[in-house]
Amino acid sequence: MKLRVVVIGANAAGAKAASKAKRVNPQAEVIVIDRGDFISYGACGIPYYISDTVAHLDELMSTPVGVIRDGNFFKKVKGVEVRTNTEVTGIDRERKIVQLHDLASGGRSELGYDRLVLATGSSPIVPRLDNVTLGNIFTVKSLEQAKAVKESAAADATACIVGGGLIGLETAEALRQKGMKVTLVEMRDQLLPGVLDREIAFLVERELKQQGITVLTGSPVSGFAGGETVEKVLAGEQEIPASLVILAPGVTPNVAVAREAGIAIGATGAIAVDAMQRTSDPDIYACGDCCEATHIVSGKPSYIPLGSTANKQGRVAGINAAGGEATFAGVAGTSILRAFRINAGKTGLTESEARACGYDVETVISPAPDRAHFFPGAKPIVLKMVADRTTGRVLGLQAAGEGAVDKRLDAAATAITFRATAEQVSQLDLAYAPPYAAAMDNLIVAADIMKNKLAGHARGISAQEVKRKLDDGHDFILLDVRSPAEHAEVGIEGAKLVPLGMLREKAAELPKDKEIIAFCKISLRGYEAQKILDAAGFADAKFMDGGILAWPYALRRG
């Protein structure tokens, strides 16, 4: 009797699992069940459909050559049967049966399986708030919702995005590009919490504000007001006008069917799986947004739902369900987004995550052009590297800027996967030519700074700490070592100018009993200043990480 593999869910993970299972075992009968009309579509492309970057909804459902991925495609090309508009209402593990409800006819039936793959995905979190069911309040997870949002997005109308994560920012950009007046509300004190540390997130927030988006952090939403459709968002004492609201506080894994069947749910609230994507039942696998993944740095179960992870997990689940053998190594939490002119993302652990995991952390902030500074089109990026102070192992990298951050994140993700140290990253033989990178790539520069910090040669201090010292009235000298012209154009209020070329002769004019923090545009000269002051006998000389380019606060102009 031939093997029957049943897959619940026909989006990224489920479609990949089914296709791979059939390729591994061509004699297997592979059946996919999905409660929706649309299958195997690119949900990550929804914000770009809303903004008209992607012109037609069909493009999110098609192959690269334009063939629609529907049931007919999977039957004829993949050899996989797909049953849409069919809901799985239960799993009888003892009898190895799934219970089905035909949503079109209302009929009930049962389907046996030899191997079962759960790819039930996730659902948008809809907070329990007053009047959350008013018209024109949407989530952006399905194609139906995408179409409704696009039809409701009118130029010069008002929109409010609730949630400052990846989807919230991408949708805010999309609606702003449609000509809407957009307010972005996040209950926590920064955008992209869990993705970026505060100082890198500030760079993204600054770009959103410059593009005309109102950003409100530390502002939990309490409810909505309006008639049949929403008119206002209530956040604390504020009433935010909005004719369109997007709820984007995150997603939750769809685990109800698994839980009711007695399948183990992990600490994150998603289905627990092993490296083979096996659940607590050896004949049932899980993949994609419904299940956990092991974080390769922390070693702990994590829930980071991304399309890239779903496809990789689906492939492993499909191989194993069909009788093969494969494992999934885990995730580094690599994420990236575009916010107007800014590209931003991370891989590995942020500083806050690393500290929460118990690491003794050192950090580096390193800004520089993304290619040779003299090459046309060079654009700035800011890197933040996080490393273990004890071993030198790189734990994470964050990046933000107008230039190419993806290649740095990808290289760092590779290094982190293989537990590379800052020393090893600094020796990577990365591609160089002026159109692509500087002779010393941004990632290698960051690793070199990290090496200097770990060895005690460089004493950097974060912009956040400098700002705190300024606000608290600490008695220290903030030393601007740029040129007089640079200082006159833009600067930090209260900084003392001593150009680097004059520092050796003017060092005697500075008090040796005070903390001195030097900075420049990117703090290369700031570090040189620290070394000059060290040699001159100053006991407490430092430099400000990242310089003016990474300073996320207001600057003095002129």
Cβ–Cβ under 8 Å, residues 159 and 153: yes
Helix (H) or strand (E) holding 498: none
Q: Which of 34, 110, 117 is nearest to 283 (CA)?
A: 117
Provide CB contacts within 8 A for 296, sequence distance 6+.
Answer: 329, 330, 331, 332, 416, 417
CB 60 within 8 A of CB 42: yes
Contact 206, 554 (CB under 8 A): no
How many C-beta neighbours within 10 Å does residue 434 have?
14
Spell 393-402 as b/e; 16+ CB within 10 A means b: bbbbbbbbbb
Active site (annotated) includes residue 44: yes
Q: Is 368 helix (H, G, I), strand (E, B) or coil?
A: strand
Q: Three-state SS for 133?
A: coil
Are 369 and 404 contacting, i.e. CB atoms less than 8 angstroms apart?
no
Q: Please enumerate in sequence order all residues whose Cβ is within 8 A of that of 151, keeping only pairs 6 or more positions apart, or say none.
A: none
Question: What are the CA-CA distances from residue 282 to residues 3, 253, 273, 316 (Å)?
Answer: 15, 21, 10, 14
What b/e readout covers 201-230, taking b as 16+ CB neighbours within 10 angstroms?
A: bbbbbbbbeebebebbbebebeebebeeeb
Cβ(494)–Cβ(533) under 8 Å? no
C-alpha 534/C-alpha 540 separation (Å) is 8
b (16+ CB within 10 A) / e for 257-283 = bbeebebebbebebbbbeebbbbbbee
Q: Which of 44, 160, 357, 520 is catalytic?
A: 44
Element at 483 (helix H, strand E)? none
Distance between CA 33 and CA 495 in Å, rounded? Answer: 65
List of residues 6+ apart from 142 with CB closer than 8 A: 36, 38, 43
Show the tokens assigned to 501.
Answer: 């070329």
Q: With 0-12 CB in 10 A as exposed, 13-18 as middle and 19+ as buried, what is 323?
A: middle
Report whether 102 contacts 86 (CB < 8 A). yes
Enumerate the active-site residues: 44
